[in-house]
Amino acid sequence: MNENPKFAVIGGGSWATAIAKMLCHNLDEVAWYMRNSSAIEEIKLNKHNPNYLSAVEFDTNQLLLTDDINQAVSYADYIVFAVPSAFLGKEMQKLNVDISNKVVISAIKGIIPESNSIVGEYFMETYNIPQENIAVIAGPCHAEEVALERLSYLTIASGDLAKAEVIANCLKSHYIKAKVSDDIIGTEYASMLKNIYAVACGMAHGLGYGDNFQALLMSNAIREMKKFIKKVHKMKRNINDSAYLGDLLVTGYSLFSRNRMFGNMIGKGYTVKSAQMEMNMIAEGYYATKSAYDMNLELKAKTPIINAVYDILYNGKEPKKVFKKLTEKLD
């Protein structure tokens, strides 16, 4: 294993900015690709990402900033992808460098819509990345709290625990704790599913349901998540670990959660399109809902919460009526 690993971050949003900040604590140089060349010039000039987490100040001598994805990928041994799942395919079309010998790290909390697959599966199937070279960054960890240097926790999952340790050590700091896991499939599905449940929690809040019901909703959500993941990949895992339950709770309850915010707007009467237009960030839970629902047509796990969110977002059903029926199915 390279004693001085080289990292590249792919993406220009809040989570990409937070990861670049974490890596800069431990590495002399980090490659950072973003497609917005004007944002790159702004960072070079003022040391801040102008669009996301603008309070974070960077030492630009540590950053190899580029709007050429091939330059960033060629530089790195470890590539962290932190772009919305719906846009990953479009970004990858620009790539003409072989990445089959790179370590690919997914910081994407969603499903690739073109293939209906988690990010790790997408890279294995499309770019011939061996499974031991795939890793996942899971929470509970909001980018906004990283910016504020509030104590946060990460789980790095990989089939190769030695690589997971390298990644964890490059992300750790006085405010970031990081542990490793070998449940790469379970953690990635949990990262996707928790966004759907956060949308549901937001919908409940927007509809006027109180804390008592939202606690019940999250209690049912973790059990539903366990059933779904067990159908996908059966192995011994503790669903109460922070990568599953912890990440679910922070995404469902935090005011920083874009998925909760999106759901709240839907609950208050916004259409899907109007809610998406008003938000400046992508709510991954919207895309994840369709992917999980479609997958479950074959898996046949019992998922009343996912079904309810799907009916509202994709079948245009009235949130108030759907949630009234959902309350009868939860315990």
Say which of 21, 102, 109, 194 is annotated catalytic: 194
Q: Using alpha carbons only, what angle is made at residue 84 by residues 11 and 13, rounded to the nearest 5 degrees?
A: 40
pTM above 0.85, yes or no: yes
Tell me the C-alpha distance between 270 and 279, whole Å: 12
Mean pLDDT value across the chain: 93
How far, rounded to the nearest angstrom, does the alpha carbon of residue 47 sit from its chain's CA centroid?
Answer: 25
Tokens (6 digits) for 219: 């209690």
pLDDT in tens, 208-253: 999 999 999 999 999 999 999 999 988 889 999 999 999 999 999 9
Query: What average pLDDT does range 275-280 have in this prediction?
Result: 85
Residue listed under structure tokens 């504020």: 148
Q: Single out the residue of 66, 44, 54, 41 nearest to residue 14, CA to CA.
A: 54
Summarize pLDDT for 167-192 with one digit per residue, the tens.
999 999 999 999 999 999 999 999 99
pLDDT in tens, 81-136: 999 888 898 999 999 999 999 999 999 988 887 777 889 999 999 999 999 999 99
- Specify whether 230 is catalytic: no
SS3 84: coil
Tokens 């809610």 belong to 275
CB 190 within 8 A of CB 229: yes
Does residue 140 carry a pLDDT above 80? yes
